[in-house]
Amino acid sequence: MDFTCTYASPLGDIELASNGEALIGLWFKGQKYDAATLSPTAQEKPGDSVLTQARAWLDAYFEGRDPGEIPPCAPRGSEFRQLVWAKLAEIPYGELVTYGDIAKAIEADTGKKRSARAVGGAVGHNPVSIILPCHRVVGASRSLTGYAGGIERKIALLKLEGVDMGTVTVPTKGTAL
């Protein structure tokens, strides 16, 4: 059984989802792929211990502090996506990596060559955003490529973590840093 609750973040409402043992989802309401891996029989249960732990983590995060160890996560997806999402969990707070960096790390672990484009697809479908920090992944030229929650939120999350925004570029016209 899946359980959900809403978290009111400074960047908009977030839906959290748990299977009772681990976090399975964290989506900005209305974002691309919102709740894509959530069971249709999910029930609202704000008192779920995993959801309570995730809300505490998010409270610290949005206060501008490194919240430390992530809550238990069990995102649903293919074996390749699981490999990519595990690499996301290793990205330190306030640091950036490229899609190519992740592809090389997976190749080093598995012996199988993976493209940065394939990694990008998996990153884009990350069902536990922020906690599995897909916003910390940038293009090879340090460009802020897409973010399912919107490029403005990606920028806000990176600024919150103290990333020097002068070291990245935004390919979309009209987006202010």
Give the C-alpha separation, 6 to 47, whole Å: 11
Which of these is catalytic: 96, 106, 131, 134?
Answer: 134
Maximum pairwise Cα distance, the chain: 45
One-letter amino acid for residue 66 of the chain: D
Q: Is 134 a catalytic residue?
A: yes
Catalytic residue set: 134
